C-alpha cells in the first residue's frame, strides 16, 4: 500500500475526536501567529532602521567608526570627504547632516522628537520621488519638508493643515520653522517617530552646537566600471582611522548587525521566534501522544496481523503533516489582519512576503515533524503480546 493510501487512516484518526483536533489546530495556529509576528517585527526593525540607508545615492559611504547606528550619530570633518576627490576613480561627492531634536506643532509634542536631515537642496543625496518640485523651498532658512510616512499620530494634523497649500509654523528645539511641503521618505522606525529634510544652513541653525565643518555621512559616487570594494580599501589607506569607508551595502549590513547583535530588541524578537516554535512542538506532541495512546490496542492488533512498525510511523507523520497544514492556514489569515492593525497603529513597515510565508510554513511542518519524532517512542508500546 503506497503512502497516499494510508492518508485516510491518519485523517480518520484525527477527526475521530473533533474537539481534540480543534484544540490542535488552534494551538498550531497560535504558534504560527507568534512566529509570523516575531519575524515581521524583526524584519520591520531591520527595514525601518535601514530605510534611510537604502535611499542614499552613493557607491561608497564615509562615517565616523564610533557611530554604530544612525540612532546614535557621530560626525567627522568634512575635509576628509573632499580628499576622496583626489582619486581618479571618484566622480563626485555629497554629504548628509543627521541629528535629532524635540518637535512641537500646536499643542502636540512629537513622541521621541524628530530626525533632522540637512542636505544640499540642489544635489539631493536621497532617492525621493518628485523631490525636484519642492527642492527650491529649502533655499530659504528655517524651511523644512515633512516626511509624510512618519508616525502621524505623534505630530498632530500636519497633513490636513498642509492641504491649504500654505506653509505652517512648528517648533524644533527652541526655534521656529516653517513646514512648506511633504516628501515620501523613510518613515517611522523603532528608534524614531519621523523625519524632516532641510538645507544644511537650516540644520546648523536648528542645531547650533554641531559644527558646520563636521558631517554625519559622506557620500562618494564612482565612475562607471570601478570596483567598489577595491577603491574603498584604497581610499581607506589614505584617510585617518577616524573615518571608515565602506560600500553602501556594507553600510546597510553595518546597521543591521548592530540591531541584531548589540541592541536588546533584536535579541528579543529572535528569541520570540524560538519560543513560538517550542510552543508549537509541545502542543503537537500532546495531541499526537494522545492519538497514539488511544490507538495502541488497535496498532497491536495490526502488528499481530503482519503490519510493520514502519507503517505506523508513516501514519504518525502523515497526521503531523495534516496538523501542520490545518494549523498554518488560520495562522496565516490571522497574521495578515494583525499586520494591518500594527502597521496602522505604529506606521512601521509590516508586510507579508512570500519568503516569510514559505519560511513559516516550513517551520510549522518541521515543528509538527519534531513532535512526531518525539512521539515515535510511544509506538513501541504497541506490542501484540500484550493482547494475550
Which of 2-11, 38-47, 213-222, 316-325 is the least confident region?
2-11
Provide the pLDDT confidence category of residue 306 given band limits of 50, 70 and 90. low
Any idea what DSSP says for residue 107? T
Helices vs strands, H then E, count in the chain: 12, 13
Say whether both 287 and 223 belong to one domain: no
- Quote the number of domains for the chain: 2
Cα 99 to Cα 216: distance, rounded to the nearest angstrom:
9
Domain membership flag for residue 250: no
Say whether both 175 and 271 belong to one domain: no
Domain membership flag for residue 356: yes
- For the chain, give the mean pLDDT: 87
Choose one of 207, 242, 277: the last residue of a domain: 242
Cα 144 to Cα 153: distance, rounded to the nearest angstrom:
19
CB 51 within 8 A of CB 189: yes
Which of 115-124, 300-309, 331-340 is the least confident region?
300-309
Choose one of 242, 277, 303: the last residue of a domain: 242
Domain membership flag for residue 258: no
At 388 the pLDDT is 46
CB 106 within 8 A of CB 114: no
Say whether both 19 and 152 belong to one domain: no
Question: Which residue from 60, 7, 58 is spatially nearest to 232, judged by alpha carbons?
Answer: 60
Q: Provide the domain limits for residue 119.
A: 65-242
At 59 the pLDDT is 96
Cα 19 to Cα 365: distance, rounded to the nearest angstrom:
22
Domain membership flag for residue 256: no
Question: Which residue from 386, 359, 376 is spatially nearest to 289, judged by alpha carbons?
Answer: 376
Say whether both 13 and 154 belong to one domain: no
Q: What is the pTM of this model?
A: 0.80
Cα 341 to Cα 221: distance, rounded to the nearest angstrom:
40
Q: What percent of the chain has pLDDT over 70?
A: 91
Q: Output phi, psi for 360, to 5 deg.
A: -70, -35
Q: Mean of the pLDDT values across residues 95-107?
A: 90
CB 364 within 8 A of CB 280: yes
Helix, strand and coil percent figures for the chain, each rounded to 5: 55, 20, 25
Which of 109-118, 284-293, 300-309 is the least confident region?
300-309
Provide the pLDDT confidence category of residue 5 given band limits of 50, 70 and 90. very low
Q: Mean of the pLDDT values across residues 369-375?
A: 85
Say whether both 139 and 31 belong to one domain: no
Say whether both 187 and 72 belong to one domain: yes
Say whether both 313 and 198 belong to one domain: no
Say whether both 168 and 292 belong to one domain: no
Say whether both 341 and 308 belong to one domain: yes
Choose one of 184, 207, 242: the last residue of a domain: 242
CB 37 within 8 A of CB 279: no
Tens-digit pLDDT profile for residues 172-220: 988 999 999 999 998 888 888 889 999 999 999 999 999 999 999 999 9
Domain membership flag for residue 279: yes
Say whether both 73 and 188 belong to one domain: yes
Domain membership flag for residue 352: yes
Say whether both 44 and 104 belong to one domain: no
Coil, helix or strand at residue 294: helix
Provide the pLDDT confidence category of residue 285 given band limits of 50, 70 and 90. confident
pLDDT at 334 over 90: yes
Tens-digit pLDDT profile for residues 12-34: 778 887 888 898 899 999 999 99
Domain membership flag for residue 257: no
CB 328 within 8 A of CB 361: yes
At 307 the pLDDT is 67
- Give the 3-state DSSP-derived string for 301-321, with helices as H, strands as E and coil as C: HHHHCCCCHHHHHHHHHHHHH
Provide the pLDDT confidence category of residue 4 given band limits of 50, 70 and 90. very low
Domain membership flag for residue 55: no
Cα 105 to Cα 178: distance, rounded to the nearest angstrom:
11
At 378 the pLDDT is 66
Say whether both 226 and 303 belong to one domain: no
Which residue matches cell numbers 517551520?
363
Amino acid at each position: 500500500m503506497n503512502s497516499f493510501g494510508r492518508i485516510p487512516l491518519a485523517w480518520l484518526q484525527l477527526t475521530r475526536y473533533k474537539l481534540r483536533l480543534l484544540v490542535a489546530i488552534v494551538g498550531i495556529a497560535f504558534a504560527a501567529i507568534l512566529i509570523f509576528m516575531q519575524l515581521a517585527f524583526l524584519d520591520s526593525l531591520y527595514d525601518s532602521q535601514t530605510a534611510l540607508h537604502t535611499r542614499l545615492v552613493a557607491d561608497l559611504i564615509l562615517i565616523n567608526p564610533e557611530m554604530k547606528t544612525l540612532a546614535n550619530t557621530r560626525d567627522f570633518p568634512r575635509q576628509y570627504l573632499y580628499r576622496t576627490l583626489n582619486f581618479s576613480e571618484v566622480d563626485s561627492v555629497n554629504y548628509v547632516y543627521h541629528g535629532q531634536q524635540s518637535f512641537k506643532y500646536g499643542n502636540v509634542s512629537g513622541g521621541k522628537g524628530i530626525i533632522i536631515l540637512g542636505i544640499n537642496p540642489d544635489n539631493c543625496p536621497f532617492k525621493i520621488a518628485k523631490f525636484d518640485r519642492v527642492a527650491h523651498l529649502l533655499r530659504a532658512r528655517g524651511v523644512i519638508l515633512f516626511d509624510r510616512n512618519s508616525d502621524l499620530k505623534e505630530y498632530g494634523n500636519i497633513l490636513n493643515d498642509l492641504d491649504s497649500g500654505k506653509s505652517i509654523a512648528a517648533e524644533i528645539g527652541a526655534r521656529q520653522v516653517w513646514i512648506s511641503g511633504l516628501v515620501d521618505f523613510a518613515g517611522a522606525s523603532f528608534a524614531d517617530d519621523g523625519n524632516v529634510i532641510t538645507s544644511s544652513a537650516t540644520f546648523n541653525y536648528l542645531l547650533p552646537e554641531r559644527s558646520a565643518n563636521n558631517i554625519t555621512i559622506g557620500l562618494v559616487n564612482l565612475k562607471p566600471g570601478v570596483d567598489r570594494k577595491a577603491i574603498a580599501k584604497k581610499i581607506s589607506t589614505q584617510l585617518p582611522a577616524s573615518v571608515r569607508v565602506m560600500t553602501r551595502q556594507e553600510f546597510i549590513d553595518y546597521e543591521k548587525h548592530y540591531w541584531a547583535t548589540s541592541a536588546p530588541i533584536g535579541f528579543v524578537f529572535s528569541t520570540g521566534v524560538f519560543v513560538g516554535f517550542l510552543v508549537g512542538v509541545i502542543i503537537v506532541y500532546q495531541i499526537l501522544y494522545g492519538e497514539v495512546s488511544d490507538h495502541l490496542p488497535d496498532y497491536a492488533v495490526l502488528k499481530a496481523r503482519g503490519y510493520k512498525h514502519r507503517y505506523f510511523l508513516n501514519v504518525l507523520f502523515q497526521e503531523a503533516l495534516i496538523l501542520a497544514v490545518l494549523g498554518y492556514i488560520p495562522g496565516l489569515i490571522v497574521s495578515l489582519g494583525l499586520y494591518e492593525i500594527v502597521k496602522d497603529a505604529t506606521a512601521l513597515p509590516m508586510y507579508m512576503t512570500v519568503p516569510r510565508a514559505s519560511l513559516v510554513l516550513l517551520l510549522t511542518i518541521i515543528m509538527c515533524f519534531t513532535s512526531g519524532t518525539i512521539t515515535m517512542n510511544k509506538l513501541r508500546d504497541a506490542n501484540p503480546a500484550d493482547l494475550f
